[in-house]
Each structure stands twice: as structure tokens, then as C-alpha cells.
Amino acid sequence: WILMATAQTPTNIAVIKYWGKRDENLILPVNDSISVTLDPDHLCTTTTVAVSPSFDQDRMWLNGKEISLSGGRYQNCLREIRSRACDVEDKEKGIKIEKKDWEKLHLHIASYNNFPTAAGLASSAAGFACLVFSLAKLMNLKENQSQLSAIARQGSGSACRSLFGGFVKWIMGKEDNGSDSLAVQLVDEEHWNELVIIIAVVSSRQKETSSTSGMRESVQTSLLLQHRAKEIVPKRVVQMEKAIQNRDFPSFAQLTCADSNQFHAVCLDSSPPIFYMNDTSHRIISYVEKWNRSEGSPQVAYTFDAGPNAVLIARNRKVAAQLLQKLLFFFPPNSDTDLNSYVLGDNSI
């Protein structure tokens, strides 16, 4: 016999960034973060997990290619889930798995991204969230979404925020064992559904410094990171929650842009400095800043993760359409810039 479960999970984009760990093994952050989860139609991972007595080892395929599960992050997630597995019964198929059987049974996992991995867009967030959620379904875990988010966190920090739609906060927690470092939903996907997210793919090259090693270098060398985590982010998180509750776009945009810029300032303050944005990224920032100023109040927010691609959040569909037109005019595909494609997240949250 074989028993399967499938789940689909969108990626999320941080508007208050997570950058820096206080525990690298458990993936515990130095500050809270807030993100918006994208619409699953655009950037998402679909994962099918299967169990069968005929499987002789745990195996995983990503976009059709087998990958190793020996890394600590996969092992931590699998161990945490197995230890919480419950009895499962499928009367139709005559299958009964008892709690104690899960330790001996092996899993096959097949995961697909609906966007090219080569596009340089974050995939680990959706990937680990989807892995944890699909396994929790298969093994009948009784944990709620926040408790599951604390398991996904051990795969990749940002993954914990993809267990919910809408706007999500990852509470950093205080406990050494990480039990209180988990995600909660601030508002659901209907709360602010006029926002539209456009991702301008500036470069599809793999980033040179991974988030994991970049944040390690920042924690070890950047004084600005310490100041940001202690003095800036706690206040900013409160202001951001208020802006989201009130659907206050000017405050939301100001905080989002400022936080992205400070995250990249921390990268520059690291030794050796880390450059994630390129000239095209900088030109997009200048362009959006100028446009927002000429309109008298912000129409678009920008944020950049550990790479040069711009995530642009427009206040409504009309602004998004104008933005797309302007981007195509100022940064035509295949021009001397390497801004080569756009992914439009229509009504993306």
C-alpha cells in the first residue's frame, strides 16, 4: 500500500526583515519580522509526500531531480514531525498506521516550484513550509499552524511565515529551546486585498552570498545590526502592525522602504561588505522615490531581499498598471540593463 498527501504553499516577502540569528541550529532570529504572503497562483511550491512499507529510505526530489536529505535542516524538520506523528487510518484502503510505526516507515517527497529556481527568487520559504505542512497532514499531527511554523522555521527561518496567508509576524521568542519563536497571522488575505505586488527580476543569476552565510557575517561583524535589532525593529514592528491594521499605505510604504534600505545598510556594514543590490536595483529605488514625491504621497513601496530583484507593492490595481508601464518604458526588457522579465502578482495578497 501507499498513502499520500499533497499541499501547496506560496512564498512570502518580508516588509520588516529578518536578518541575523541568535541560534544557528534552531534558527532563532535576533528580531521579529513581518511579511506578506503572495497569492499561490504565482510563486508557490507544491509538495506530495508518500509513505509505503516498500520504501527502504527517506528520499526527496526537487523539480524532478533527486536531492540529499542528509543536511541538518531537513533532518531537524523530519525528526520534529516524526516525534509528533499520530495514528492514521484509511478504512477504504484498509491501512492502519500506529503512532509507533512512523519511526520505522520511510518517506518519499516530491516538490515542485511553479517558478524557475534560476530566477533567483526565494524558494526555501515556500519549500520548507510546504514540506512541513504536507507531512503534518500525512502523519495526522494535532499541532496548530503556529506550532507547525516553529518546525518549518528549523528548515529556513523565513519559511515559518509561509504557513499563513495575509500579513504574518514571526515572533522572535525568548526561550533558548525556540518553543516561542513562531509565526502568527496579523490579518488575513482579504484585509488589504487592493495591494498588488510586482516582482521585477533584475537578474536571474544565483546570488553570490547566501542569506545564511550573509547573516552570519553580519551578526559577527556589524554594529549596525546590533543597534537595528535592539533599538529600531521593536518600534518599527509596532508601527508596521498599526499601518497594516489601518490600511495606511503612506506609513506602510515609508516603513517598508526604510526597513529594506536599513537591511542593505547592515549588509554594507558587514566585513567584508555584502552587496546584494546592483545598479539597476538602485535606479529602481531612485525612480520609485521620485515618483512617490511627485505624487505628494507614496503610491508604491519597494523592498529587496538577499539579491537585486525588486519587489514593488502598489497601493491598488490602477497604480500597478501605471507602474508596470513605466518600468517597461524606463527598463525595457533586453536593454543595456539586465532587467529581463516581470512577474505580475495580480491582487497578490
The residues of the shown chain that bind ligand DP6, judged by CB under 6 A, are: 14, 17-19, 27, 33, 124, 156-158, 211-212, 305-306
b/e string for 288-321 if b means 16 or more Cβ within 10 A?
Answer: beebbeeeeebbbbbbbbbbbbbbbbbbeeebbe
| Of residues 212 and 261, the one with the C-beta less far from ligand DP6 | 212
| Of residues 181 and 211, the one with the C-beta less far from ligand DP6 | 211
- Name the residue with the smallest CB distance to ligand DP6: 157
Taking the complex as a whole, the smallest distance from the CB of residue 72 to ligand DP6 amounts, in Å, to: 11
> In 3D, which of 195, 208, 325 has the Cα closest to residue 275?
208
- Contact (Cβ atoms closer than 8 angstroms) between residue 165 and residue 185: yes
| Of residues 3 and 69, the one with the C-beta less far from ligand DP6 | 69
Taking the complex as a whole, the smallest distance from the CB of residue 305 to ligand DP6 amounts, in Å, to: 4
- The C-alpha angle with vertex 131 and arms to 129 and 135, in degrees rounded to 5, equals 120
Crossing angle for the helix pair 249-269 and 279-295, to the nearest 10 degrees: 150
CA distance 12 to 170: 12
| Of residues 71 and 116, the one with the C-beta less far from ligand DP6 | 71
Cell of 253: 510604504
Taking the complex as a whole, the smallest distance from the CB of residue 308 to ligand DP6 amounts, in Å, to: 12
- Contact (Cβ atoms closer than 8 angstroms) between residue 300 and residue 313: yes
Taking the complex as a whole, the smallest distance from the CB of residue 29 to ligand DP6 amounts, in Å, to: 8
Cell of 21: 540569528
Phi, psi of 225 (to 5 degrees): -60, -45
Taking the complex as a whole, the smallest distance from the CB of residue 345 to ligand DP6 amounts, in Å, to: 16
| Of residues 106 and 227, the one with the C-beta less far from ligand DP6 | 227
Taking the complex as a whole, the smallest distance from the CB of residue 249 to ligand DP6 amounts, in Å, to: 21
| Of residues 102 and 276, the one with the C-beta less far from ligand DP6 | 276
